[in-house]
Amino acid sequence: MAAITEIPSDNIADIGDYKANSLWRLTVRRLFRQRSAIVGMIILAVLIIVAVFAPLIAPYDPTAVLIGVEDVKKREAPCIHLLGCPEDQPQHIMGIDGNVRDVFSRIVYGTRVSLRIGLFTVTIAVTMGTLLGATAGFIGGWLDNLIMRLMDVILAFPFFLLAIAIVFVLGPGLQNAMLAIAIVSMPAYARVVRATVLSVRETDYVEASRALGASNIQILFSRILPNALPPLIVLATLGIATAILDTAALSFLGLGAQPPTPEWGTMLGSERNQIFSAPHLVFIPGFAISITVLAFNLLGDGLRDALDPRLVHAGVKSD
């Protein structure tokens, strides 16, 4: 008897493992077949390296004011020795900002800030959204109604406008800005999780787990959430792009990161009137935001195509 119960359970486990692996392996293989996704991953890899090794890459402290330290002037244009800038001038490859700080060092440290903003914001949004969506789908009834109507109300506002209103009430600051963006992006995750819960809740394998005595929490984490993972990953990757873009916009308006934090949106916002006299102070942070957001967008699109077998079958994006 013991042998008989052992064999099938082993087999089931094997099949389960095999399937789980193959989905992800297939995804990775499809992902690497897309040129745009590869470009996204390469940019992202560079950004991560820059963020991790920021202290080694940046020649100056990002908040250090260089008055009296070096012979540099306010808002000086970039000076690169290789490109013919006189050797006796101190080299600042991205120039000097309005507070006489090295722009390159600020951009390098800004990578840390931006990646952290993206990851933190989306982590908060996904966690809150998953909890709410799972509760709504699992418990159902009036609680489901209450939670989902609340999400509808958030969606009834223009995304960025509600974020502005929330930060305005909470008070300006990077943390509040991130929280605001997390709150307004939460409904998308809640909806996806709830939809998955509803579609999976009644399946035979969930019934089977229940019959074996699994608790609701166990079923949720080991049976239902894995099903919600593919759409969540896609949403979250694209969500990081949005989070970075919108937090930068909030910072630009003075509601997000406060000076002297080396945040790209803040850097651009505080020098925006210098577009006529020192355009590099606008272009460089703007370019940094764009390239980071682009990387996450490319990766997110690639993941969506790789994770969505429907598109492959429909012949829409199989190539």
Partner 1 sequence: MIQYTIRRIVLAVPVLLAILIVVFALTRSIPGDPCKSILGEKATVAMCEQFTRDYGLDKPIYTQFGIYMKNLLQGDLGNSIRFGRPVTLIMIERLPLTIELGMSAMIIALLIGIPAGILSAVRRNSAIDVMTMVGANIGVSLPVFFLGLLLVYLFAVLLKDTPLQLPPSGRISAGIIAKPFYEVYEMGIEEGGLKYNFYEFIANHYVFNAIITRDWELLKDVLRHLLLPAVALSTIPLSIIARMTRSSMLEVLGLDYVRTARAKGLTERKVVLKHALRNALLPVVTIAGLQLGGIFSGAVLTETIFGLAGVGLSMFEAITSRDFPIVQGLVIVIAFIYVAFNLLVDLSYAFLDPRIRLD
Choose between 98 and 254: whose C-beta lies nearer to partner 1.
254
Q: Which of residues 230-259 bind partner 1 (CB under 8 A)?
A: 241, 245, 248-249, 252-255
Q: Using CA atoms, how far apart are residues 107 and 163, in angstroms rounded to an integer? A: 25
Give the nearer residue to partner 1 in terms of CB position, either 81 or 272: 272
Question: Is residue 142 involved in binding partner 1 (CB under 8 A)?
Answer: no
Q: Which tokens is 298 given? A: 């490319």
Least distance in angstroms from the C-beta of 103 to partner 1: 15
Distance, in Å, from the CA atom of 279 to the CA atom of 145, rounded to the nearest integer, reads 51
- Sign for the CA dihedral angle at 123, 124, 125, 126 comes to positive
Q: Side chain identity at 276, as an amino acid letter?
A: F
**How far apart are CB 225 and partner 1 at their closest, in Å?**
28
Helical segments of 53-173, H only: 54-57, 103-139, 141-156, 159-170
Query: Does residue 269 bind partner 1 (CB under 8 A)?
Result: yes
CB 133 within 8 A of CB 193: yes
Q: Is the CB of residue 30 less than 8 Å from the CB of residue 234?
A: no
Q: Is 36 in the site for partner 1 (CB under 8 A)?
A: yes
Task: Report the residue from 171, 204, 211, 213 that binds partner 1 according to the rule CB under 8 A.
Answer: 171
**301 in contact with partner 1 (CB under 8 A):** yes
H helix intervals, 257-279: 264-270
Residue 293 contacts partner 1 per CB under 8 A: yes
| Residue 213 lies near partner 1 (rule: CB under 8 A) | no
Here the tokens at position 35 are 């040129």
Interface region with partner 1, contact rule CB under 8 A, candidates 45-53, 80-88, 126-134, 167-175? 167-175
Distance CA 97, CA 267 (A): 9
Least distance to partner 1 from the beta carbon of 108, Å? Answer: 19
d(CA 37, CA 41): 6
Stretch that binds partner 1, among 25-33, 117-125, 201-209, 266-274 (CB under 8 A): 266-274
Interface residues with partner 1 (CB under 8 A) are: 36, 149, 152-153, 156-162, 164-166, 168-169, 171, 241, 245, 248-249, 252-255, 265, 268-269, 272, 275-276, 279, 282-283, 286-287, 289-291, 293-294, 297-298, 301, 314-316, 319
